[in-house]
Structure 1
Amino acid sequence: WPSPPQMDSAPLFRSLHSLAEDNAAFFSRSGGASGRRFAAAFATLREQSGRLEPALGYFSRLCHRFDLDEATPGNGYRSLLQVARCCVAHALHKSRYVAAHRRSLFFRAGHNAAELEALGAALAQLRALLCIAQRLLAHSPPGCLFPPSEGEDGLSEMVLREFSTMRNACFYGRCLGFQFAPSIRPFLQTMAIGLVSFSENYQRHNLGLGVAAGSLVSSGPLALDPELRGDEFERLSQTLDIHFWKSFWNLTESQLLASVANMTATQVGVCQVLTVTPEPLEVPLAADPSVTITIPPPVAH
């Protein structure tokens, strides 16, 4: 089917390049360690976004080929494009903020410089992902998301090897949740802080309430240091086993948290209790009611 109209990312990149050049020139004239740090951060933003723009344009012209149909514009390449655009838009928003407040007495130079550096690292990692996706696309038949299993010449191993060398900590630190609405980012940050602080006590083999209490005590440094939180989150995602993740997500099943929820949340009245017994169902066929099929009850793996 014909290519649908694509979102033009050129104005987004032009605005980012213009602001990056203006901010870099301003901080270069100011001198000092802080000025050099800002100038380097904006130079990185300009460089990475300049390399990212051609890749986004390339995939924007081709991603519609992998949609299920014209009414369902969705596939992995579209998702990657949207995440990259969101990161560029977030960098543009931060650049505008710096340009508007850089002369203010209350301008937090260290905080804003660290956020710009994190955005530059995120753009670099997204560009690397787009390069990997481009290699996959080159080896895939037309309209197929993945290359054929035969004759791929070690492509899967290459993708896994390249992905293992990427630094994903920037996505879990200051840039956490940039692709979502701003209202959900504090919740994601709270989850990340809780996860990393929980892991410290889990690895000490604390159990029960000791893990939850220790997590609250040790969460302070993680809340104040996004870089440390991002590094730890990346390490956890690569090293800890399934038992850790089950223990973390089962925290809400503990009696203590259930009691807190009962005290703080609105009580919901139960009108009627329905019990579904784990027994198979016999359902007649629509074409021949005399013939039935057996539907087994759902079971967990």
Structure 2
Amino acid sequence: IHTHEIRHIVSWPFNEVASIRGTANIRQDRFVTLATDFQRLQVPTSFNYWAGAKVEYVFDNVLPLGLNLMRGARYKIFAEYYRSLPIQQVEGMGIPETINMYILGADFRHYTKIHRDFIWANRFAASTSLGSHKLIYYMGGVDQWLLPDFNDRTRVDQSQNYIFQTLATPMRGFTQNARNGNSFAVINSELRMPIFRYLVNQPIRSDFINNFQIIGFGDIGTAWTGLHPYSEDNTLNTEIIDSNPFVITLKNLREPIIGGYGFGLRSRIWGYFIRADWAWGVEDTVIQPRVFYLSLSLDF
């Protein structure tokens, strides 16, 4: 798949910390089938075209105290719309039907200064996708996980007409796809202590030691299909057993909400912010085996 995109962004600031931002884009996806045999060699190249728009309200009064350390609050509330454009090409055709997808979401973050550079960071994020086709959220893991693992045992509801996918993170203590659906909600909480800066009340010359942090965290959330996580329409509550000539549908009572807790270490090495986390997940009141994460992202 080769993708080309044209994007135009406009911002309307209300003051120093709040603004409305608008984005319009046109995207082309070019699909080329790998010619592993003569039959695949004859498959024509096809194109998909998309038009999209996004509107978001952004508030940010955060003041930096150090690398990934800040105080204040930031949040954004956004809405997105995507529509397929069935444009015919010489080598192939675009999507034969018109596809509409709507995305609504919000992300709230608050950073409290406990003492000096010791920070308590909290986040709430939620999003849902609507329309003829939808975006699937795979919950589990962390952003920029260097050695990701995917849970193939969690069923995906194919009747939802998913056309795009993304991750709902962080949910530490689990691999990707611990929960999935067209909606998700998650709460994250972290205590961030730059231990050497906190204990040594003088400038530190070493960048690694100066930015070294010890983290304690907790996550709770879920992803689901249907009106709410406990709805009978939630895919998690249904198990399908295909045993020819019978198809058996089982309804279960699994707890859709999962959580995780643990600790981590952070610092900057060769210009990269390295994160190491050790986490234990909690599912159906049972503590899961420890999962280790090595990642590169900032903030949550």
Scaled by the length of structure 2, what TM-score is found?
A: 0.27
Scaled by the length of structure 1, what TM-score is found?
A: 0.27
Relative to its length, the structure with more helix (as a share) is: 1
Q: Which has the larger radius of gyration?
A: 1
